[in-house]
Amino acid sequence: MEVLSPYKEAADVIFEAGGEPLKLCYQCGLCTSICPWNLVRNFLVRRIMHEAQLGATDFGSEDVWTCVTCRACVQHCPRGVEIIDVMRAVRRAVASLGIGIVPDALRISAKNIAGVGNPLGEAPEKRNDWAKDLQVKDFASGTELLYFPCCIPSYDPDAKMVARSTVAIFNKLGIDYGIIGTEAKCCGEAIRKAGHEETFLSLAQNNIGLFNSSGVKTVIVSSPHCYHTFKDEYPELGGKFEVIHITQYLASLIDEGKLKLSKKIDKKVIYSDPCYLGRHHDIYDEPRKILQSIPGLELIEFPDARENGLCCGGGGGRIWMDTPKGERFSDIRVDQAVDKGAETIALACPYCLLNYRDSVLSMGKAETVQIRDITELVAEAMTEE
Amino acid sequence: MEEIRIAVYVCHCGVNIAATVDVVEVARYAGTLPGVVLSRDYVFMCSDPGQDLIRQDTKEYNLNRVIVASCSPRLHEPTFRRVCESAGINRYLLEMVNIREQCSWTNEDKEANTEKAKALVDAAVRRVHYQEALEVKEAPYNSSTLIVGAGIAGIQAALEIANSEHKVYLVEREPSIGGHMIQLDKTFPTLDCSQCILTPKMSEVGSHPYIELLAYSEVEEVSGYVGNFKAKIRKKARYVDESKCTGCAVCMQKCPYTTDSEFDLGLTKRKAAYIPFPQAIPNVATIDPDICIYIQSEGKKCGACLKFCDVGAIDFNQQDEILEVEVGSIILATGFSLMDPKLIPQYGYGKYNDVVTGLEFERMVSPTGPTEGKIKLKDGRDPESVAIVHCVGSRDKNYHEYCSRVCCMYALKQANYIKEELPNTDVYQLYIDMRSFGDGYEEFYERLCEEGVIFIRGKVAQVTDQAMSDEERGKLIVVAEDTLLGRTIRIPVDMVILCNALEPQADAGEAASRFAVNQKATGFFLERHPKLDPVATPTEGVFVAGCCQSPKDIPDTVAQASAAAARILAMISKGKITLEAAVSAIDEEKCSGCKTCLNLCPFGAISFDEERKGCQINEALCKGCGVCAGACPSGAITARQFTDEEIVAQVEGVLV
């Protein structure tokens, strides 16, 4: 008979890697029954916590890499356990000590990020190519705002629209902003969640050095993931600047009467809350305010919106890993949106954008429902009739 | 002047102090300080041999000051004061130095701790040079008791004291006594009928010659001190003359206006003129001025009760009365309230008709309740399956971290109700841990297992009506992880009972400041010591009983209430109290009569003598807080035992 013995050394490795909060877990299982994975497959969050408590973690299991860090479980955990920190600690143990297997897809992205500073493996000098034909200034000391679009809109041919729409809005409003040089690298949020702590630290130091030496005081970001790491993780490494998500900024411009949306968009639009904007940072109202300011646009809601919003499946490094058909959260979301009669799914996160785009294409729904970033809709609504 | 002869004792407290403070070094150092004729370290100063040490040394070395460096004075100052007095040293010539809670336990750096302990001892040595013997006075102890709240805790305590033929004022803010217990159908684990065991006590309270029952009343103000409290009580107008009302309920039958019944938690209606439940004590009607149209229309409309009351008990001219009572002791037995489960929206309370709270279910199964004891869904059907959800807002950082302590057992009891009435109904218990620690509780748990109740270990994530299969359609689906199977489970049921958390009364904070007691982090009242004095509060003469101190079941509540009563009877039997002598004193010569102190005193201990044009202090009321002494512009007030010389010397000892 196979018996289990507690293995304290393994537990200590996890504790030291930041898994300390799991000591509080009393095994009620609320996390498992809240976790969205259990809509599509078995994923026993509680058991992972208990295995880690005993040092009985199966470091070779794919479960190590499953968590999308959407924070649904943390939000309700009765013991306040930062479950994401535990998941990250287990991954750190694998990545740094080599005591398990890092999935291939993740290993490639990690290598790209460490090597060329972006997960797509694109040339660093091409980072700002998306802005080539647009009138975009380089950030210089004294420029009011830095716009930091995230690697995906910088390189991905489709996602470039996010960055291009954003600067189109800025240019039209005469905002004093600039973009930073191609020495900038990935913010590192996701690779850190995927357990690659050393890579994260080197990315963060690079960006902090660059921002500080350029005199950056305020950064506007397109990605909730950049928002999260700049706001919550960079300060303790010396990166202290104000961080504003584009939806916050646009909502404030609407409040101040500086941004007026006049062109009608007669569409039923459904908004999907990004986990790192919503549950991680309680930003729910600003994106909705922007959409509701667009004339003609009818904003509808998913059955599980806001705090209960379903993740797209792209957090915690999952954006680089393959999720089999039938287990993709964004597929469920697209079905829900179509059921609700939505013509457009509005997004505010580049990872969501990639996942939803893949979903509508693979599901053959690209004609039924459009996938658009909020900035695209705003840029369109600003155009004079 | 007498030569100052100080002894310093440094306690090891086993390893509590000695492990992180070099006690030998501290004692050696103390021996070098001026006035110290003797210094020792000893393993347990509070033990008999430790105490004897002080007595022998006093004789041998002709001591007149004693310093004990050990634990907090809250623990052993009374012990060492007794020792000093038995050795012929005035209790105020003892000084305690706290080198445990404030030194050895705070830091693991032995060297730093030792230096700190030395500084603290130095401070005490300098201080005691200025300490003076103070005369201890006594005051009589009023043998009446005020009990606030007449649930089972207040009732039990009142009867214990009144049966010893001492007067009790029992105040209850609701129209009837009985509290939450009278709302219950049965009590675990013996399944005694709750009303059957409580109503005899209630009726005894109602007619007891030594109990003055003040129902529908609230305490508004408390002043005084242990042995001699004064309380102002507002007796709210019932608009019914209690002395005439026979409880015939004709007013209730004739009254045309209704509102939700508080007793039935809104599951039934009551009239504007009402007796909350048939066994109410006092069994008299109350007219609710917010609902009564006669009162609202200032006598222009209705008046049915006036017409039909045979004994002329209805009195719309009745006003609130303010009563002033003098008592020696106070028991707070103000109970608990229940958390609103709507705060946890995912459990669907308020959204789905058949999601109910435990107390609502208790009313449902009670023969006097809304369904006359029948377990029914809102549409009148019998439930085929019921889920009982534990820990709703308890053991949960998002709501209340503590365990509510009664839910596991009442959940079992309610499963039994269901199995008794509807044997074919499936009952699921969704628990995190089963806590059946009391006498007979584990056996009761076993009995429910035998009855076929299904236990699922997992915290419920959600109650939903979103069916995922035909089997689930039209049902409430309870979603959890069955943590023993390691699988997400969806249980379709007809009814969900939520065991919502017990929490402090909404106005516990106001009550705490009115009675000068403190609240714990949980909001419940703070006892003096969680283990050794769970009945008293830090305020002398004020006791706590029942759920106002922490969630507890009926046996524990009754035990605590009896203990509070016993403590009070002991004080009544002694008949007098010792007054603290370390209080403030006014030098009449220096007092200019500016009255600065008068308004600052938090205890109302200072008054102004018109004849002498100066302030004076009532030593019985003064708590020695020293606010007056600090504020007096002419330096006329001295806080005894905390004189400027004493404090400056102490500060020097720490800093120099």
A195 to chain B, closest Cα gap in Å:
26
CB within 8 Å: A32 and B481: yes
pLDDT > 90 fraction of chain A, expressed in percent and rounded? 89
Contact yes or no for B486 and A30 at CB 8 A: no
CATH no. for A260-382: 3.40.50.10700
Q: Residue B70: which pLDDT band, with cuts at 50, 70 and 90?
A: very high
Q: Which residue has the tokens 């090597």?
A: A115
Rg of chain B, C-alpha, whole Å: 31
| B481 contacts A33? CB cut-off 8 A | yes
| CB–CB contact A28 B486 (8 Å) | no
B481/A46 touch (CB, cutoff 8 Å), yes or no: yes
User: Mean of the per-residue pLDDT values for chain A?
Assistant: 95
3-class SS at B113?
helix
How many A-B residue pairs are in contact by the CB < 8 A criterion?
62
pLDDT band at B1 (very low <50, low <70, confident <90, very high): low
CB–CB of B459 and A38 under 8 A?
no
Among B481, B482, B490, the residue to mutate for chain A (most A Cβ within 10 A):
B481
Question: CA of B490: which chain A residue's CA is closest?
Answer: A33
The reply to whether residue A28 touches residue B482, judged by beta carbons under 8 angstroms, is: no
**Hey, are the CB atoms on A44 and B482 less than 8 Å from each other?**
no
Contact criterion met (CB < 8 Å) for A77 and B480: no
Chain B nearest CA to A61, separation (Å): 16
Report the C-alpha gap between B578 and B141 in whole angstroms. Answer: 10
Residues in A closer than 8 angstroms to B457, CB to CB, are: 29
Residue A145 pLDDT class (50, 70, 90 cuts) = very high
Instruction: For B268-301, write each residue's pLDDT tens digit.
Output: 999 999 999 999 999 999 999 999 999 999 999 9
Q: Which has the closest alpha carbon to B182: B148, B213, B159, B154?
A: B154
Name the fold adopted by A8-97: Fumarate Reductase Iron-sulfur Protein; Chain B, domain 2 (1.10.1060)
Nearest by Cα to B176 from B238, B266, B239, B265: B238
Question: Is it the case that residue B197 has pLDDT exceeding 60?
Answer: yes
Measured in degrees and rounded to the nearest 5, phi and psi for residue A375 equal: -65, -35
Task: Spell out which residues of chain A touch residue B501, defining contact as CB-CB under 8 Å.
Answer: none
If you measure CA to CA, which chain A residue comes closest to B460? A30
With beta carbons under 8 A apart, name residues in chain B contacting A31.
481
Asked whether B641 and B121 are in contact (CB, 8 A), the reply is no
Burial of B376: CB neighbours in 10 Å, binned 0-12, 13-18, 19+: middle
Contacts of A377 (CB under 8 A, 6+ apart): A265, A269, A291, A294, A297, A344, A346
Dihedral over Cα of B143, B147, B150, B152: its sign: negative
Substitution target in A26, A32, A37 with the highest count of B β-carbons within 10 Å is A32
Mean pLDDT in residue range A49-77: 94
Nearest to B619 by CA among B56, B133, B62, B139: B139
- pLDDT for A307-354, tens place per residue? 999 999 999 999 999 999 999 999 999 999 999 999 999 999 999 999
Cis peptide before B189 (omega within 30 of 0): yes
Nearest Cβ partner for B483 among A42, A46, A77: A46
With both helix axes pointing from N to C terminus, report the angle between A197-214 and A83-97 in degrees, rounded to the nearest 10: 110
In order, the DSSP letters of B549-600 are: TS---HHHHHHHHHHHHHHHHHHHHH-EEEEPS--EEE-TTT-----HHHHH
| Residue pair B188/B410 in contact by the 8 Å Cβ criterion | yes
At residue A195's C-alpha, the angle toward residues A191 and A198, to 5°, is 75
pTM of the model: 0.84
How far apart (Å, rounded) are the C-alpha atoms in residues B375 and B185?
13
CB contacts of B488 in chain A (<8 Å) are 32-33, 38, 42
Orientation of helix A285-292 relative to helix A246-255, angle to 10°: 50
Residue A33: its chain B contacts at CB < 8 A?
458-462, 479-481, 488-489
All residues at 6 or more sequence positions from B105 whose CB lies less than 8 Å from its CB, including other chains: B16, B20
Q: How far is A247 from chain B (nearest CA, A)?
A: 28
Contact between chains at A28 and B459 (C-beta distance less than 8 A): yes
CB–CB of A286/A248 below 8 Å?
yes
- Contacting residues for B46 by C-beta, under 8 A, at least 6 apart: B11, B70, B76, B79, B80
Task: Report the topology of domain A108-251.
Answer: Rossmann fold (3.40.50)
pLDDT exceeds 60 at position B67: yes
Other Cβ atoms closer than 10 A to B256: 11
Asked if B90 and B33 count as a contact pair (C-beta separation under 8 A), the reply is no
Q: Is the Cβ–Cβ distance between B67 and B59 less than 8 Å?
A: no
Interface of B with A in 335-364 (CB under 8 A): 346
The pLDDT assigned to A7 comes to 84
Contact B461 A76 (CB under 8 A): yes
User: For A3-54, what is each residue's pLDDT tens digit?
Assistant: 887 888 888 888 988 888 888 999 999 999 999 999 999 999 999 999 999 9
What average pLDDT does this structure show over B29-57? 96
Q: How many Cα atoms occupy the beta-carbon half-sphere of A166 within 13 Å?
A: 32
Topology agreement, domain A8-97 and domain A108-251: no
Distance between CA atoms of B260 and A50, rounded to whole angstroms?
A: 48
Q: How close A81 comes to chain B (CA, Å)?
A: 10
A29, B458: Cβ pair inside 8 Å?
A: yes
Ordered domains of chain B (ranges, CATH) = 6-135 (3.40.50), 145-236+320-335+505-574 (3.50.50.60), 250-308 (no CATH), 337-503 (3.50.50.60), 584-639 (3.30.70.20)
- Residue-range domain boundaries for chain A: 8-97, 108-251, 260-382
Does the pLDDT value for residue A265 go beyond 70?
yes
Q: How far is CA A157 from CA A14, A130, A320, A361, in A?
A: 39, 9, 17, 16
Cβ distance A42 to B482 less than 8 Å, yes or no, reads: no
Q: Residue B643: which residues within 8 A CB-CB, separation 6 or more? A: B130
Least confident residue range of B40-44, B79-83, B603-607: B603-607
Q: Which residues pair with B533 in a beta bridge?
A: B529
Q: How many CB atoms lie within 10 A of CB B52?
A: 12
Please judge whether A33 and B462 are an interchain contact, meaning their C-beta atoms are less than 8 angstroms apart.
yes
The backbone torsions φ and ψ at residue B347, rounded to the nearest 5 degrees and listed phi first, read: -90, -5
Is a pLDDT exceeding 70 seen at residue A165? Answer: yes
Q: How many alpha carbons fall within 13 Å on the CB side of residue A56?
A: 11
Share of chain B above pLDDT 70, in %: 100
Tokens, residue A111: 């290598």
Which residues of chain B lie closer than 8 angstroms to A77, CB-CB? 397
Confidence band, pLDDT 50/70/90 cuts, at residue A384? low
pLDDT at A385: 46
* Banded pLDDT at A1 (limits 50, 70, 90): low
ipTM for the predicted complex comes to 0.81
Q: List all residues 6 or more positions away from A68 whose beta carbon is below 8 Å from its beta carbon.
A: A36, A37, A275, A311, A313, A314, A315, A316, A318, A329
Q: Which residues of A touch B431 (CB under 8 A)?
A: none
Listed in sequence order, the residues at least 6 apart from A280 whose beta carbon sits closer than 8 Å to its beta carbon are: A71, A224, A228
- Calculate how close chain B gets to A28, using CA atoms only, in Å: 5
- Residue A273 falls in which region: left (phi positive, over 0), alpha (psi -120 to 50) or beta: beta
Q: How far is the CA of B24 from the CAs of B17, B72, B117, in angstroms?
A: 11, 20, 11
Query: How large is the average pLDDT for residues A280-302?
Result: 97
Closest by CA to A244, choosing from A128, A353, A347, A166, is: A166
Q: Of A28, A38, A47, which is closest to B432 when you measure between CB atoms?
A: A28
Nearest-Cα residue of chain A relative to residue B483 = A29
**Tokens representing B58?**
């006093």
Listed by number, the residues of chain B in 387-406 with a beta carbon closer than 8 Å to a beta carbon of chain A are 391, 395-398
pLDDT digits (tens, 9 = 90+) for B607-646: 999 998 999 998 878 888 899 999 999 999 999 999 999 9
Distance from C-alpha of B393 to C-alpha of B401, rounded to nearest angstrom: 8
In B442-461, the residues whose Cβ lies within 8 Å of chain A are 457-461
Identify residue B207 by its one-letter amino acid code. Answer: S
Q: Return the residue in A25, A27, A28 with the most chain B beta carbons within 10 A, the one to mutate for interface testing.
A: A28
End-to-end CA distance of chain A: 76
Q: What digits encode the pLDDT tens for the residues B465-505?
A: 999 999 999 999 999 999 999 999 999 999 999 999 999 99
* Integer angstrom CA distances of residue B329 from B142, B572, B621: 8, 9, 15
**Nearest CA among A149, A192, A189, A186 for reference residue A167:** A149
Closest by Cβ to A29, choosing from B346, B396, B483: B483
Question: Does the structure show a pLDDT above 80 at B423?
Answer: yes
Question: Which residue in this structure is represented by tokens 């584990």?
Answer: B442
* Predicted local distance difference test score (pLDDT) of residue A302: 97
Q: What residues of A are in the B interface, CB distance below 8 Å? A: 26-34, 38, 42, 44, 46-47, 76-80
Strands A218-221, A242-245: parallel, antiparallel or unpaired by DSSP? parallel
pLDDT higher than 60, residue B517: yes
Compute CA distances A30 → A149, A152, B12, B58, B461, whole Å: 36, 34, 47, 65, 6
The shortest C-alpha distance from B466 to chain A (Å) reads 11
Q: For A39, which residue in chain B has the nearest alpha carbon? A: B488
Question: Is residue A221 within 8 Å of residue A274, measured between CB atoms?
Answer: no
